[in-house]
Amino acid sequence: MEIKDRIVVVTGAASGIGRALARRFREEGARQVVAVDVDEAGARDTAAAIDGVAMRADVAREADVALVIERSEEEIGPIDLFCSNAGVGAGTDLEAPNEEWQLCWDVNLMSHVYAARHLVPRMLARGGGSFLITASAAGLLNQIGGAAYGVTKHAAVGFGEWLALTYQHKGLRVSLLCPQAVRTAMTAGESTATAAASSDGMMEPDVLTDFVVEGLREESFLILPHPEVLEYMRRKTANYDRWIGGMNRLMRRLTSGS
């Protein structure tokens, strides 16, 4: 799909990847961009910079997600592209409290389920639409130093696959964005997870948007801004035991001294 003249909704648009996507979609000529975030002031800043529309929503709450979809379609028009991008990093290890696992589950997985539940039937009724899930390379290769993050991003990948295999033939285009490290608030602090994710460097959000626009144009299922990820996936599936061994070595190197 081309972004020009499209109506696009981006969650997590107050910051980082979501803000960069919202800006880029406007530059590509989107008819309207809806910037959604639980951080209302941030969503307003993003919207103000691109003459877009801001909506406050906690994507972990189904009613909030449903309302964003309803309001967007009633006040602006049929959503062509929904970018389910909001995400959280929490639940580093076995000591992490259940609340952190639940938060990751609700934001990193259920937000996509809610959006699809309320939007996909509308899209199918009008012949199709596009749904982008920001998962992560952590959803394909797991996350050293990020137990709940890696697990729930795998769930997001699984859900994206399920959506695509169920509805693609009915006109739904699903894409999964799976970057390694990107320079945002999420990777700002020092942590084992960020050190592991940035082993191949840190990408700027504006650079990442090139890959997203191209991936959407080509209607690719998997959008991999870091090409190394494909090779790592191949190595993982070619020899799981060897891959676990390699990840252990990386883990030990990153945490030696701690």
Ligand X SMILES: NC(=O)c1ccc[n+]([C@@H]2O[C@H](COP(=O)([O-])OP(=O)(O)OC[C@H]3O[C@@H](n4cnc5c(N)ncnc54)[C@H](O)[C@@H]3O)[C@@H](O)[C@H]2O)c1
Question: Mind telling me the catalytic residues?
Answer: 149
| Count of residues near ligand X by CB under 6 A | 30
The Cα 38–Cα 187 span in angstroms is 19
Interacting span for ligand X (CB under 6 A) from 70-78, 181-189, 221-229, 230-238: 181-189
Among 32, 136, 142, 175, binds ligand X (CB under 6 A): 136
Nearer to ligand X, 66 or 128 (CB): 66
Nearer to ligand X, 29 or 109 (CB): 109
Report if residue 9 touches ligand X, rule: CB under 6 A. Answer: no
Phi and psi for 56 in degrees, rounded to 5?
Answer: -85, 130
Nearer to ligand X, 15 or 32 (CB): 15
The Cα 55–Cα 58 span in angstroms is 10
Report if residue 88 touches ligand X, rule: CB under 6 A. Answer: yes
Secondary structure element (H or E) that encloses residue 44, with its range = helix 40-50
Report if residue 207 touches ligand X, rule: CB under 6 A. Answer: no
Among 7, 53, 83, 107, binds ligand X (CB under 6 A): 107
Name which of 239, 221, 43, 45 is nearest 131 in CA terms. 221
**Under 8 Å between Cβ of 145 and 254:** yes
* CA separation, residue 31 to residues 66, 161, 224 (Å): 22, 29, 26
Among 197, 216, 223, 229, binds ligand X (CB under 6 A): 197
Copy the structure tokens of residue 74.
Answer: 């009633």
Report if residue 224 touches ligand X, rule: CB under 6 A. Answer: no
Q: Which residues pair with 129 in a beta bridge?
A: 172
Contact residues: ligand X, CB under 6 A: 11-12, 14-18, 37-39, 42, 57-60, 85-88, 107, 134, 136, 179, 181-182, 184-187, 197
